[in-house]
Amino acid sequence: MSRKITLIGAGSVVFAKNLIGDILQFSELSDSTICLMDIDVSRLKVAETLMKRIAQKLGVSAKIEATMNQRKAIKGAKYVICTIQVGGFKPCTVTDFEIPKKFGLRQTIADTVGVGGVFRALRTIPVINSIARDIEEVGHKDCLFLNYTNPMAMNCWAVDRAVGIPHVGLCHSVFSTARMLSKYAGVPYDDVSYLVAGVNHMAFFLQFKYKGQDAYPLLFKALNDPNRHTERVRFEMMRRLGYFVTESSEHQSEYVPHFIPHGDKLIRDFDIPLDEYIRRCEAVIATWERQERELLGGRSGDVEVESQSHEYGSYIIHSIETDTLRTVYGNVPNQHIIDNLMQGCNVEVPCQVDGTGLTPLRIGNLPPQLAAICATQINVQDLTVEAALTGKREHIYHAVMADPNTAATLTLDKIWAMCDELIEAHQKDGYLGEFSPTLAGTGRAFAGIGDRAIATLAAVGEFLAEEGASNPLKLTVENPLKTELKATVTLRPQFDGLTIKGRSRFKILVPAGETYSERIETLNTEDLSEGCTVGLSLSKEEVLCLDAELKPRKVFEADGEGSVGFDMDLHGFEAVKGKLRRTKTHLELDVEVSDSDIVSNLKAPRQGSAVEFFVTKDSRSPITRINFIPQKGSEGLAIQSGDGKAVKAKKVRLEVTRMNYRFQAAIPLGVVGLKAGEDFLFDMIASLNALGDAHSGGKTSLGEALDSKTNSSHFGFFRG
């Protein structure tokens, strides 16, 4: 009984010739309707003429049709074969090589993973999913989708997630590598059996047997053969992993971080052909006209039909149509097939095929090292499919960031810039759709964060607690949206003793991309010694609101010797402890800092290890800053003013251990603008390069602000 077999991407004439020739050489399939579809009218015409001549040469009754209408081609088809390349060699493949190369990233094939594979998937998935949806809607009720288009795993994964029709991805790497290995082992292929599993282009020969015996010793013998000068990358990976991978050395070299990023010598030693796919494409294009003439048979009209190839496509169709049991290797959804790979990802495994269709064989667990290296590819595939299906731009960066070769070659800034340039280039050429924006220079979606205005209510100046005093507030609303923000502002003091002068509820309009600010006056109707919170809310849910905290100064009461103790933590761990003592002539500091990796930076103290001490007579007086910078070796403790000049001090001492440092110093009162017996305001900021033995460094302060240059509102009060 005749069936319709549709080939989408028939303009890939050489592959189409072999594939359709394979199908029509099965007598049971020779009456099929072959429908050819392509978007290139000239190539489609060549393909149609060629297929008709093949049918004539074989003497079969196949019906050959051609159309540029995808839905028409798929209507009623029982098998749809996909061999498309979205964007072609130019401009898209060239772009996928040239832009990364400009950033220092080198590739060989760039069609599976890596940045080239990611962008090929992003422009292919929308097209391949449109094919799948047409199959679901107008194809035969038992239609099987056979995909040959790379990047195989990402395309098939996207079809499964977005549409869910029966499908299989087909690749020649398993059967071609098996034949190659039989030659390296020096045994007849017909006596070889094998078991392969993993992900497309990163599947491994879990078993390689000769007449039922483990033949891996023969491969390891070939590994160490000094006369072997081919497949250097794959044999090296077998040396390290213990198993041979299915796809070529040029592919393998760009899937892992162990070769290309390590320089020209290693590239030469392992014979890695950079830009290899560009060379191949240029060679095919250069010979296209000659191939076209040869395929069409010149004036004679004759065409040569090769004997059936080893491609799986024709065998799958024949097995289903004739209920002939065969085992093929296919790329299918991982539904409890390989247990230690992500469920739902696309895996390459043996499949039994007969009249009931395709049935993947359960593998169980891969050896853990193989599962780990497959996972590095699956991570990229997962993020790329997520980007393609959701339109979230951030996952493009994440996918490329996860690629091993890219990660070993480029900084994060270069990865982001490279992706931005690739997105722009492919969109300009019309082969990539729009993606939702991210916060500039980040991998976080604009949606949910960048599209939220931020409203802040903050105290201005020194907190005043007495009845009748005013504590001014500043309202700031930042609007990053591309549209104006209209909202109602509500201010709610959390204590009855503080009221808002004037309006506590009012409307605002903030233009797109601009910031609104307003000064709010308050009145203390009671003593406010305990402080108060003023709540802020806006009527729009997408606005993040930060309340104002009105807090009294922390008072440090001096003991009988004129000293106060203090401590500061960093990330919840004790970082600084010390004493500040006022004498008739000096301020004496005794400070211990838990910094286990002292790095001195005299020009920029906060970029290393330092303690900054701030002093002022009152909130209206100038602020004096003294920097204490520990130095290793004999340099001792550097004491500087805020402008970097040396400060003379007495009783200077520095002790350094592997876990911390402790310094003592007496600063003349005149240096900090104080007189004997005066109370004063002070703050301290400590910059640590490393906190103890288990934490990175950071900055901490006595007050709540980490910048005390001009604002004394958070300073502590030294009294006594």
* Alpha-carbon distance values, 359 to 154, 349, 356 (Å): 21, 10, 8
Q: Which fold has domain 4-170+284-299?
A: LDH C-terminal domain-like (3.90.1820)
CATH number for the segment(s) 452-550? 2.60.40.10
Task: Give residue-wise pLDDT tens across range 495-512.
Answer: 999 999 999 999 999 999
Question: Dihedral of the CA atoms 610, 616, 619, 620 (nearest 10)?
Answer: -120
Residue that has been written with the tokens 């095929």 in this structure: 353
Domain 555-719 has CATH 3.40.640.10: no
Question: By C-alpha distance, which of 369, 365, 407, 382 is closest to 255?
Answer: 407
pTM over 0.75: yes
* Neighbour tally for 333: CB within 10 Å: 19
The answer on pLDDT for 705 being more than 90 is: no
CA–CA distance, 406 with 385 (Å, rounded to integer): 18
The answer on pLDDT for 577 being more than 80 is: yes
Question: Dihedral of the CA atoms 133, 138, 140, 143 (nearest 10)?
Answer: -10
The answer for residues whose C-beta is within 8 angstroms of residue 564's C-beta and 6 or more apart is 556, 557, 558, 579, 580, 581, 718, 720
Q: What is the largest distance, in Å, between two alpha-carbon atoms of the chain?
A: 116
Task: Give residue-wise pLDDT tens across range 180-230.
Answer: 999 999 999 999 999 999 999 999 999 999 999 999 999 999 999 999 999
Residue that has been written with the tokens 């996207």 in this structure: 158
Question: Dihedral of the CA atoms 77, 82, 85, 87 (nearest 10)?
Answer: 30
The answer on pLDDT for 304 being more than 90 is: no
User: Residue 382, Cα to own-chain centre: how many angstroms?
Assistant: 10
CA–CA distance, 107 with 239 (Å, rounded to integer): 23
CA–CA distance, 497 with 418 (Å, rounded to integer): 57
Angle between helices 216-223 and 173-185 (to 10 degrees): 80
293-307, 576-590, 601-615, 680-694: which range is least confident on average?
Answer: 293-307
To the query of whether residue 172 is one of the catalytic residues in this protein, the response is: yes
Question: By C-alpha distance, which of 116, 137, 146, 134 is closest to 15?
Answer: 146
pLDDT at site 298 = 58
CA–CA distance, 688 with 250 (Å, rounded to integer): 47
Q: 610 near 629, Cβ under 8 Å? A: yes
**pLDDT confidence of 713, banded at 50, 70, 90?**
confident
Element (H, E) at 614: strand 610-616
Average pLDDT over residues 71-94: 97
Task: Give residue-wise pLDDT tens across range 21-45.
Answer: 999 999 999 999 999 999 999 999 9
CA–CA distance, 235 with 245 (Å, rounded to integer): 9
* Neighbour tally for 191: CB within 10 Å: 14
Q: CATH 2.60.40.1190 region(s) of the chain? A: 555-719
Q: What one-letter code names the amino acid at 18?
A: N
Residue 615 exposed, middle or buried by CB count within 10 Å (0-12, 13-18, 19+):
buried
**Phi and psi for 320 in degrees, rounded to 5?**
-70, -40
Q: CATH 2.60.40.10 region(s) of the chain? A: 452-550
The answer on pLDDT for 310 being more than 90 is: yes
Residue that has been written with the tokens 């549709």 in this structure: 6
Q: CATH 3.90.1820.10 region(s) of the chain? A: 4-170+284-299
Catalytic residue among 140, 167, 172, 714: 172
